[in-house]
A = this chain, B = another copy of it.
Amino acid sequence: MDLKQVAKDTTKVLSSYLTYQAVKVVISQLSETNPPLAIWLSNFSSTAKIQDGEAYIQELMGVEQPLAFRIMTVREHLAQEVTEFLPEMTIAAIAQANMKHRCQYLEKVTQFNLSTESSDPDAI
């Protein structure tokens, strides 16, 4: 298990996801101040490769540089404000989800055994 590689890959995914969130923020701001530009950015983002944050920024830089700079500033802000809570939140979310899956499994198994027992009175 190469934990360093996992951390690096996860950082890349996180960085791309925060770029996507920054795009959403900027579209929402523009829809109030400059609706036509909001529509333009929304259309651009649905066709451009937003899965890869860096490729997206690079592409946007070529056609609408001020917007690219604005999204870069917002994603930097989001990273500073949001990431510090992520370790605790993610560990808790996974622990909680795992417990839920285990409980559901136990419930299923228990009900299965109960219904088997009740349908077979000789087993008692």
Interface residue ranges, A against B (CB under 8 Å): 1, 3, 6-15, 17-18, 21, 25, 53-54, 57-58, 61, 65, 68-69, 72-76, 78-87, 89-91, 93-95, 97-98, 101-102, 104-105
Instruction: Please indicate the chain B residues that have their CB under 8 angstroms from the CB of A75 in the complex.
Output: 94, 98
How far apart are A83's CB and chain B's nearest CB, in angstroms?
A: 4
CB pair A65–B105 under 8 Å, yes or no, is yes
Main secondary structure of the interface of A (DSSP, over half): helix
Cβ-defined partner of A13 (8 Å) among B13, B83, B102 = B13
CB pair A90–B25 under 8 Å, yes or no, is no
How far apart are A15's CB and chain B's nearest CB, in angstroms?
A: 5
